[in-house]
């Protein structure tokens, strides 16, 4: 079962990237060696890593607000390893993730924009205009915010193992949704209860 899930995720990411407009593939790829580096802008410092070559693929590991590079080692799919032969894979520690090395203030009134600023800022720092985004868990919410903020830059996105995504984005996903009342399913899963029966 786990291998099937890996195959589905890998195929989905590859198919999404290939389906993107062919003109974006003319973008000049960079070389990644897997070394950990830092990008700084103002009082924000972001630790990132690159590996592989090809069209840029920004990958975000799961872990909620503790999404960090080291989480790939235990992820359902290690996107950095899985896609490095086909893409220029870029990953990062999210700002202030426990165990990570990225730092910076997170505004309480709009934290999603702060994370999007970090991700888009890193792409700017690397000279990348357009890219594919693959996000596990909280990465699904990051993907939606990036597509809202920069639809001309995110040519495709894959939301892997996204357990629940903020309703404010107008997208609902919570595992097995109840056909009768998907919002009830979302509320139940958020509260840690099982899906409504009947």
Name the token pair of 167.
């309703």
Reported confidence tier of residue 118, pLDDT bands at 50, 70, 90: very high
Residues 104, 188 within the same domain: no
CATH code where residue 65 lies: 3.40.50.1820
Q: Are 137 and 130 in contact (CB under 8 A)?
A: no
Residues 156, 170 within the same domain: no
Beta strands in the chain (DSSP E): 32-41, 44-52, 55-60, 87-92, 131-136, 154-160
Number of domains in the chain: 2
- Over the stretch 153-192, which tens digit does the pLDDT of each residue have? 999 988 876 554 444 344 443 333 333 344 443 444 444 4
- Over the stretch 67-93, which tens digit does the pLDDT of each residue have? 888 888 887 788 888 899 999 999 999
Of 144, 96, 90, 78, which is closest to residue 122 (Cα–Cα)? 90
Residues 148, 182 within the same domain: no
| pLDDT at 74 (0 to 100) | 80
- Structural domain for 97, as ranges: 2-162
Residues 168, 110 within the same domain: no
3-class SS letters over 152-171: CCEEEEEEECCCCCCHHHCC
| pLDDT at 12 (0 to 100) | 57
- Over the stretch 54-71, which tens digit does the pLDDT of each residue have? 999 999 888 777 788 888
Cα 38 from Cα 102, distance rounded (Å):
8
Residues 180, 196 within the same domain: yes
Q: What is the pTM of this model?
A: 0.67
Residues comprising the chain, all counted: 198
């Amino acid at each position: 079962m786990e291998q099937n899930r890996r195959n589905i995720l890998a195929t989905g990411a590859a198919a999404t990237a290939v389906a993107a407009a062919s003109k974006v593939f003319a973008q000049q790829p960079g070389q990644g060696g897997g070394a950990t580096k830092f990008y700084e802008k103002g009082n924000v410092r972001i630790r990132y890593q690159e590996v592989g070559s090809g069209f840029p693929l920004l990958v975000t590991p799961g872990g909620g607000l503790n999404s960090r590079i080291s989480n790939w080692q235990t992820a359902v799919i290690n996107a950095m390893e899985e896609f490095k032969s086909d893409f220029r894979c870029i990953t990062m520690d999210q700002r202030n993730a426990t165990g990570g090395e990225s730092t910076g203030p997170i505004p309480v009134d709009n934290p999603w924009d702060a994370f999007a600023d970090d991700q888009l800022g890193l792409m700017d720092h690397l000279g990348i205009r357009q890219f594919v985004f693959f996000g596990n868990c909280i990465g699904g919410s990051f993907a939606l915010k990036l597509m809202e903020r920069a639809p001309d830059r995110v040519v495709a996105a894959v939301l892997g193992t996204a357990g629940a995504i903020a309703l404010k984005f107008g997208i609902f996903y919570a595992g097995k949704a109840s056909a009768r009342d998907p919002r009830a399913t979302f509320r139940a899963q958020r509260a840690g209860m099982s899906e409504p029966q009947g």
